[in-house]
Structure 1
Amino acid sequence: MPEGHVIHRLARATMDHFGDKAVQVSSPQGRFDGAAASLDGTVLQGASACGKHLFIDFARPHPEHIVHIHLGLIGKFFFAPLAPPRGAVRLRITDGVTAADLHGPQMCRLLTPQEQQAQIAKLGPDPIRPDADPEIAWTRIQRSGRSIASLLMDQRITAGVGNIYRAEVLFRHRVNPATPGNTLRRATWEAIWADLVLLMRDGVTVGRIDTVREEHGPEAQGRPPRVDRHGGEVYVYRRAAQPCLVCASPVKVATLEGRNLYWCSRCQRRR
């Protein structure tokens, strides 16, 4: 599932290609046909993200004028030169030159502005958004006995944080992933939050996830760069049984709530 920085990049790309233009909207697959027809020919006036949710706003004189997209596990939303649609395209937006095609989303529906705000209100603060309030997340964390590894993946706690950012930010701050939320020190949470803001906003800018500090990078350690479709240099994510870049202990992996959790048992002793 894409992490939050990917969705923010999609919102930016949508505005770069189609912002303030009258666009053609269709549903080649047919499953969004009626809604697409109601938007066809209208001006695309805004696109934004909150966590893993993408909102595309059309200047339509009807309350339901915001397309709400959640890609889920297999969804794709990509931009390419206009050509006949390939595969099951749920939604297509085009200006006659570029087409944005949506495949296999978990959700694609029309919302009113009030429904959009209600959806956002269900989410925790998004470290990428300037209006995010980390105090909301802290209040929920300190009241919970669940592990911090579980809480960081809960979109009601921190919107947009996925498996990679979860594993990496805990490593960077030497936090044992099993630490209960209600025992986490506030100073530790503030450091984690500040790091998420830094890492995730950088992800929006560069389009990949890099979490390794310069002193642990390929050049400093004389090793080849990491090659992985998920992003750049990372400390523990998808590095099970490989030596930790800091202490050389084998990276651990376990299943937590259906997702793989990676950590270094030697470096991450902090509770």
Structure 2
Amino acid sequence: MPEGHTLHRLARLHKRRFAGHPVEVSSPQGRFAAEASRLDGRVLVKAEAYGKHLFHDYGPLGTVHVHLGLYGAFSDEPLPAPEPVGQVRMRLAGPTHFADLRGPTRCELLDTPQVDAIKARLGPDPLRRDAKPDKAWERISRSKTSIAALLMDQSVLAGVGNVYRAEVLFRHGVAPLVPGRALDRGLWDDLWADLVTLMRHGVRVGRIDTVAPEHLPEVTGRAPRQDRHGGEVYVYRREGMPCLVCGTAVLRSDLAARNLFWCPTCQPA
């Protein structure tokens, strides 16, 4: 599932290419046809992201809410747009580019109270300047739930997924199964600040990089990471491979139906 930096990157791209202009909106697949007909030819006011949610704001006409889920994706290309290929839920065309949305979990036209209700259910997003990390700390500091599970709970923290979860815990030497209430405030502040830095970098470059310069392949002489997610990471999807810091084999287990990766030496219980 795309993590928060992907949605913020899309929001920036769509704001630059489509916002402030009348846009053509269609639903070649047909499942968004009625909503698309209401928006077709209207001005897209703005695009923004909150956590793993993307919002296209059309002013009084409403807001298109997109959640990509596991399989959703946008393809953005210069005009002219060819005939749609595959199950295109929504096609958005502006002055210079078009974007096709395929396979989202959600693509719906909402009014302002409905949008506000979605945002109200989400925890603070490290990529938003209006984020309030104290709100997340209030939940974490009282919880018996593991910090690994809390970081993935979108009502606690919005936008953090499996990669950022595993990597930020490794970078701060935190055992993933430590209860949230066992963390001290200083450590939480450090985790939050690191997430802000890592995720902003992800927005800029379009991939997740978490490895310090001294552990990069060109410094250590190891082979670069080969993975469809891209980027250099410490533990994510490195089960059985040596830790880049201490050499211990990286471990994996299941937590809330998701893979959990960590180094038992660098992240002692």
User: Structure 1 length normalisation: TM-score?
Assistant: 0.96
Distance between the aligned counterparts of 1:26 and 1:89, measured in 2? 9
Aligned to 2:3: 3
**1:54-101 Cα distance to aligned partner (Å, 9 max, x none):** 000114x44xx1000000011111202311111011111002642111
Structure 1 residues 225 and 217: alpha-carbon distance in aligned structure 2, compared to 1, 3 A threshold: same
Aligned ranges 1:98-117 → 2 under 5 Å: 98-117=97-116
Aligned to 2:67: 70
Given residue 216 of structure 1, which amino acid in structure 2 is its aligned partner?
H
Aligned to 1:58: 58
Deviation at 1:216, TM superposition (A): 1.1
Aligned to 2:163: 164
Deviation at 1:248, TM superposition (A): 0.2
Distance between the aligned counterparts of 1:178 and 1:191, measured in 2? 18
1:13 corresponds to 2:10: no
Distance between the aligned counterparts of 2:201 and 2:75, measured in 1? 21
Given residue 31 of structure 1, which amino acid in structure 2 is its aligned partner?
R
Given residue 33 of structure 1, which amino acid in structure 2 is its aligned partner?
A
Given residue 47 of structure 1, which amino acid in structure 2 is its aligned partner?
A
| Secondary structure of the corresponding residue to residue 208 of structure 2 | coil
Aligned to 1:243: 242
Aligned to 2:203: 204
Distance between the aligned counterparts of 1:223 and 1:16, measured in 2? 39
Aligned to 1:44: 44
Name the count of aligned residue pairs. 267
Aligned to 1:35: 35
Distance between the aligned counterparts of 2:181 and 2:70, measured in 1? 30
Distance between the aligned counterparts of 1:232 and 1:105, measured in 2? 24
Deviation at 1:224, TM superposition (A): 2.0
Q: Any unmatched runs of 5+ in structure 2?
A: none
Distance between the aligned counterparts of 1:112 and 1:205, measured in 2? 31
Q: Any unmatched runs of 5+ in structure 1?
A: none
Deviation at 1:114, TM superposition (A): 2.3
Distance between the aligned counterparts of 2:153 and 2:82, measured in 1? 39
| Secondary structure of the corresponding residue to residue 22 of structure 1 | coil
| Secondary structure of the corresponding residue to residue 44 of structure 2 | strand
Deviation at 1:219, TM superposition (A): 1.9
2:17 touches 2:96 (CA, 8 Å); kept in 1? no
Deviation at 1:172, TM superposition (A): 0.0
| Secondary structure of the corresponding residue to residue 261 of structure 2 | strand
Deviation at 1:6, TM superposition (A): 0.1
RMSD of the TM alignment (CA)? 1.0
Aligned to 1:193: 192
**1:85-143 Cα distance to aligned partner (Å, 9 max, x none):** 11011111002642111111101111112221221111000000001010000000011
Moved over 6 A (4+): none
Out of 79-88 and 160-169, give the one that drifted further. Answer: 79-88
Distance between the aligned counterparts of 1:83 and 1:158, measured in 2? 39
Aligned ranges 1:252-263 → 2 under 5 Å: 252-263=251-262
Distance between the aligned counterparts of 2:107 and 2:45, measured in 1? 18
**1:190-230 Cα distance to aligned partner (Å, 9 max, x none):** 11000000000110011110000011111221112212111
| Secondary structure of the corresponding residue to residue 187 of structure 2 | helix
1:144 corresponds to 2:143: yes
Out of 216-225 and 168-177, give the one that drifted further. Answer: 216-225
1:265 corresponds to 2:264: yes
